[in-house]
């Protein structure tokens, strides 16, 4: 029987409630609605799994609902709805224990994604409670005889907590492998994951599997047990794969346990991975308790991994959308075609020389591709103007770094890139914009990008002027050393970028001396 998953919406606006209810229908078995704090408190008696409430209600504050949930319904998940002018109230609720804040206005897909995460969190909390109850029952009923099982359950709780803290699929899968290796005595263990692009299964992590098999697509016709798990979305346990006629040449005569990893966040059960365990010490079988334990571990991992997969897809979608806007901007102005790619390439060269880590390099790459995305809303008459800009037009141009940061501010994995975007027009002497930062107040990647952005502008034709000669470019760069540009960054830039054969520009010229025929 499907567990009850009630959604309670406490919101005065009929339109907002309808959007949330529509998004919640695929996820909830029942949707409850209330328009006031009093009605919302009364509806808590129905034990909702997820409560979505406006921070400000006609007869009180949404924090009263959160306090009641924490006192009597600890497994319920609270999501605060907040208008743009009530940031303080939203922050207060998050600090008090709210799962997340959903700013208004929002769309159907956006609130649906939020609800999927909230219901996933409810499932994690419920499973954690069940595990704690199981630990207590074992301790009370069996005492000394269940010491080993109690230790396993404690490990399961620790696994759940560590799993919830995992930031990537790789971290979660590695943790799953390590936990199973400790809890179940198997010489061969594999975790198969479906590739998002091809849909094929590959071995993501494994123990006792030949290296040549790992990262290779799995042939389901050669893996009948895995094929059965994928098609039926069910646990398959075979006490002797050879007698069952399900061996593919490995693990003959051994017990084989195969468990699906399921994504249920969209209201459907979809298998996105499989956990395989076999080759136990002494060719032993898996007891019913061990099978339940492994399934509980896999179920917990399913929720966390599904959320990470979906978050990764959502973030990629966001980035692709904003990236498309950046390309659309360059399409408006053929003079700047390829500008973002060139700036990104130059920044990556300098950042690599400086020894930035992979995560920092990723943020610099994202910022480089999107550093001018804030110009999307600027009129083409200003962007393509051939003459001198008026004060009003220049002020409009100066807004684009701050606008660009706001455009990416809701994309979690672009948080650091957003700051670089905002500050790539700051100056070393503090005379830049939008914040007038100076020297080390400006993050290092933004100082690098300021040089690359200026360099590309000078070495390419623009609507308002032709590109400069190489000696003029070098002269302008050196004039800005210590005023517009960080001196150390500029020296590295000239050494590794401006003189690099792979970067169009100064390397092919004796750029310190102007030609005599000018």
Asked if the structure places residue 121 within a domain, the reply is: no
Q: Are residues 178 and 89 in the same domain?
A: no
Q: How many CB atoms lie within 10 A of CB 375?
A: 23
**Helix (H) or strand (E) segment spanning residue 212:** none
Instruction: List Cβ neighbours of 516 (8 Å cut-off, separation of 6 or more).
Output: none
Give bridge partners of residue 465 from the DSSP assignment.
462
Q: Are residues 305 and 388 in the same domain?
A: no
pLDDT digits (tens, 9 = 90+) for 58-113: 998 888 888 888 888 888 889 888 876 666 777 777 788 888 888 888 888 888 88
8 A C-beta contact, residue 509 and residue 470 = yes
CA 506-355-440 angle, 5° bins: 80
Give bridge partners of residue 515 from the DSSP assignment.
none
- pLDDT at position 477, please? 86
Residue 242 half-sphere exposure toward CB, CA atoms < 13 A: 8
The mean pLDDT value for 322-337 works out to 64
Asked if the structure places residue 421 within a domain, the reply is: yes
Q: CATH number for the domain including 428? A: 1.10.3210.10
8 A C-beta contact, residue 101 and residue 80 = yes
Domain boundary (56, 89, 115) is at 115
Mean pLDDT of the chain: 78
Distance of alpha carbon 234 from alpha carbon 237, whole angstroms: 10
Asked if the structure places residue 357 within a domain, the reply is: yes
- For 290, phi then psi, to 5°, come to -65, -40
8 A C-beta contact, residue 407 and residue 414 = no
Distance of alpha carbon 31 from alpha carbon 8, whole angstroms: 6
Q: Are residues 289 and 399 in the same domain?
A: no
The mean pLDDT value for 143-163 works out to 60
3-state secondary structure of 272: strand
Q: Are residues 211 and 338 in the same domain?
A: no
CA 352-357-362 angle, 5° bins: 85
Cα dihedral value 211, 213, 216, 217, nearest 10 = -160
Q: Picking from 87-101, 304-318, 395-409, 447-461, which range would have the lowest pLDDT averaged per residue?
A: 304-318
Distance of alpha carbon 26 from alpha carbon 101, whole angstroms: 21
- pLDDT at position 318, please? 63
Burial (CB count within 10 angstroms: exposed 0-12, middle 13-18, buried 19+), residue 67? middle
- pLDDT at position 303, please? 75
pLDDT digits (tens, 9 = 90+) for 116-149: 988 888 888 878 777 776 666 655 554 554 455 5
Asked if the structure places residue 359 within a domain, the reply is: yes
**Helix (H) or strand (E) segment spanning residue 56:** strand 56-57
**Helix (H) or strand (E) segment spanning residue 318:** helix 288-332
Q: CATH number for the domain including 290? A: 3.30.450.40
pLDDT digits (tens, 9 = 90+) for 467-498: 777 777 788 888 989 999 999 999 888 888 76
Q: Are residues 341 and 287 in the same domain?
A: no
| Strongest mean pLDDT among 25-34, 75-84, 274-283 | 25-34
8 A C-beta contact, residue 350 and residue 497 = yes
Q: Are residues 230 and 377 in the same domain?
A: no
8 A C-beta contact, residue 319 and residue 366 = yes
Q: Are residues 245 and 345 in the same domain?
A: no
Q: Are residues 305 and 394 in the same domain?
A: no
- pLDDT at position 87, please? 66
- pLDDT at position 441, please? 93
Q: Are residues 367 and 269 in the same domain?
A: no
| Strongest mean pLDDT among 117-131, 296-310, 324-338 | 117-131
Q: Are residues 253 and 394 in the same domain?
A: no
| Strongest mean pLDDT among 54-63, 170-179, 248-257 | 54-63
Distance of alpha carbon 226 from alpha carbon 247, whole angstroms: 11
Listed in sequence order, the DSSP H helices in 167-267 are 169-183, 224-232
Residue 417 half-sphere exposure toward CB, CA atoms < 13 A: 28
pLDDT confidence bin for 439, thresholds 50/70/90: very high
Which has more pLDDT, 320 or 138?
Answer: 320
Asked if the structure places residue 156 within a domain, the reply is: no
In the predicted structure, residue 513 carries a pLDDT above the cut 70: no
Which has more pLDDT, 325 or 261?
Answer: 261
Q: Are residues 339 and 271 in the same domain?
A: no
Q: CATH number for the domain including 83? A: 3.40.50.2300
Asked if the structure places residue 300 within a domain, the reply is: yes
* Cα Dmax for the chain: 98
In the predicted structure, residue 511 carries a pLDDT above the cut 70: no
Asked if the structure places residue 132 within a domain, the reply is: no
Positive/negative CA dihedral, 326, 332, 337, 342:
negative
Based on the structure, what is the number of domains in the chain? 3
- pLDDT at position 330, please? 66
In the predicted structure, residue 453 carries a pLDDT above the cut 60: yes
Q: Are residues 284 and 337 in the same domain?
A: no
Residue-number span of the structural domain to which 88 is assigned: 6-115
- pLDDT at position 420, please? 92
Asked if the structure places residue 53 within a domain, the reply is: yes
The closest alpha carbon to 346, from 479, 468, 447, 451, belongs to 451
Q: How many angstroms separate the Cα of 228 from the Cα of each of 38, 177, 235? A: 51, 22, 9
In the predicted structure, residue 289 carries a pLDDT above the cut 80: no
Domain boundary (52, 87, 115) is at 115
In the predicted structure, residue 244 carries a pLDDT above the cut 70: no
**End-to-end C-alpha distance for the chain, whole angstroms:** 86
């Amino acid at each position: 029987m499907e567990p009850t998953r009630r959604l309670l919406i406490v919101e005065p606006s009929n339109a907002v409630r309808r959007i949330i209810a529509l998004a919640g229908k695929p996820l909830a078995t029942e949707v409850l609605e209330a328009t006031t704090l009093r009605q919302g408190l009364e509806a808590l008696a129905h034990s909702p799994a997820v409560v979505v409430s406006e921070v400000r209600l006609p007869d009180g504050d949404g924090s009263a609902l959160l306090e009641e949930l924490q006192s009597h319904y600890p497994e319920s998940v609270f999501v605060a709805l907040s208008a743009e002018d009530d940031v303080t109230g939203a922050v207060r609720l998050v600090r008090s224990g709210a799962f997340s804040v959903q700013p208004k206005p929002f769309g159907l897909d956006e609130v649906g994604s939020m609800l999927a995460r909230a219901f996933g969190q409810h499932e994690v909390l419920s499973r954690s409670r069940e595990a704690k109850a199981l630990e207590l029952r074992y301790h009370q009923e069996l005492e000394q005889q269940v010491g080993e099982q109690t230790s396993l359950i404690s490990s399961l709780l620790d696994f759940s907590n560590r799993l919830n803290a995992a930031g990537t699929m790789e971290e979660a899968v590695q943790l799953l492998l390590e936990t199973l290796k400790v809890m179940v005595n198997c010489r061969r263990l594999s975790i198969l994951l479906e590739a998002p692009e091809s849909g094929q299964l590959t071995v993501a992590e494994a123990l006792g599997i030949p290296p040549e098999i790992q990262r290779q697509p799995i042939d389901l016709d050669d893996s009948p047990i895995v094929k059965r798990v994928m098609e039926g979305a069910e646990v398959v346990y075979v006490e002797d794969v050879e007698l069952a006629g399900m061996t593919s040449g490995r693990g003959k005569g051994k017990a084989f346990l195969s468990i699906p990893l399921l994504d249920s966040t969209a209201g459907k059960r979809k298998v996105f991975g499989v956990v395989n365990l076999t080759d136990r010490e002494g060719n032993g079988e898996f007891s019913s308790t061990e099978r339940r334990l492994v399934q509980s571990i896999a179920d917990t991992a399913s929720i966390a991994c599904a959320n990470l997969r979906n978050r990764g897809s959502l973030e990629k979608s966001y980035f692709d959308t904003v990236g498309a806007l950046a390309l659309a901007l360059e399409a408006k102005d053929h003079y700047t075609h390829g500008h973002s790619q060139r700036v990104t390439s130059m920044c990556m060269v300098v950042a690599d020389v400086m020894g930035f880590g992979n995560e920092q390099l990723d943020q610099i790459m994202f910022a480089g591709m999107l550093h001018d995305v804030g110009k999307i809303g600027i009129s083409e008459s200003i962007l393509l103007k051939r003459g001198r800009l008026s004060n009003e037009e220049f002020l409009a141009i100066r807004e684009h770094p701050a606008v660009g940061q706001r455009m990416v501010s809701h994309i979690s994995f672009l948080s650091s890139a957003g700051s670089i975007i905002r500050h790539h027009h700051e100056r070393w002497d503090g005379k830049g914009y939008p914040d007038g930062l100076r020297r080390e107040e400006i993050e290092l990647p933004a100082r690098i990008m300021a040089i690359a952005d200026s360099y590309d502008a000078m070495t390419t034709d623009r609507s308002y002027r032709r590109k400069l000669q190489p000696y003029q470019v070098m002269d302008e760069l050196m004039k800005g050393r210590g005023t517009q540009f960080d001196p150390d960054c500029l020296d590295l830039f000239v050494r590794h970028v401006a003189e690099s054969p792979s970067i169009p520009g100064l390397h092919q010229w004796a750029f310190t001396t102007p030609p005599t025929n000018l």
